Amino acid sequence: MEEHHGGCLCGGVRYVVRGPLRDVVICHCSRCRRTHGHAAAYSACAAADLDLGEARTLRWYEADGRGRGFCTECGASLFWRIAGRDAISVSAGTLDPPTGLRTIAQIFTADRGDYYELSPDGRHLPAGLSSGAGETTCR
């Protein structure tokens, strides 16, 4: 079975995805930028496929029906979810390489910070994805 490992900087959170990962969607919305420090690069998996082997420092910041999973020790932003949805977004930068992934889209490009230019990677969508890739708006 396909298996992907990942974790935060300090090792307080380690996880295994036992199943397929979606290719990466970069979100430029202001909420992602504030919590990640920049645009957020998210893969995603079925919630049931995410196995939190080590989660002693994992906490969830819940706002507007969205949850952001982060490490209370090193501050890493690891996960993003909407309650009741069977998919969970996983920060691509927390996956152990090689990920085998590529960037397929950039969302909320209209909301990007004013201090950088968009890379040509993937489709550019001024607003969120609404279907297909399992990802929707994150605000």
- Tokens, residue 120: 């040509």
Question: Does 118 help bind Zn ion (rule: CB under 5 A)?
Answer: no
Which residue, 21 or 138, is less far from Zn ion as judged by CB? 138
| 44, 22 contact by CB (below 8 A) | yes
Q: Which of 2, 3, 5, 10 binds Zn ion (CB under 5 A)?
A: 10
Number of residues that bind Zn ion (CB under 5 A): 10
Binding mask 37-76 for Zn ion (x = CB under 5 A): ----------------------------------x-xx--
| Beta strands across the sheet bearing 50-55 | 4-7, 13-17, 50-55
Question: Does 111 help bind Zn ion (rule: CB under 5 A)?
Answer: no
Give the other-Cβ count within 10 Å of 59's Cβ: 13
Which residue, 45 or 80, is less far from Zn ion as judged by CB? 80
Minimum CB–partner distance for residue 69 and Zn ion (Å): 11
| Beta strands across the sheet bearing 87-91 | 58-63, 66-71, 77-82, 87-91, 40-46, 24-27, 103-107, 123-125
Residues that bind Zn ion (CB under 5 A): 8, 10, 12, 27, 29, 32, 71, 73-74, 138
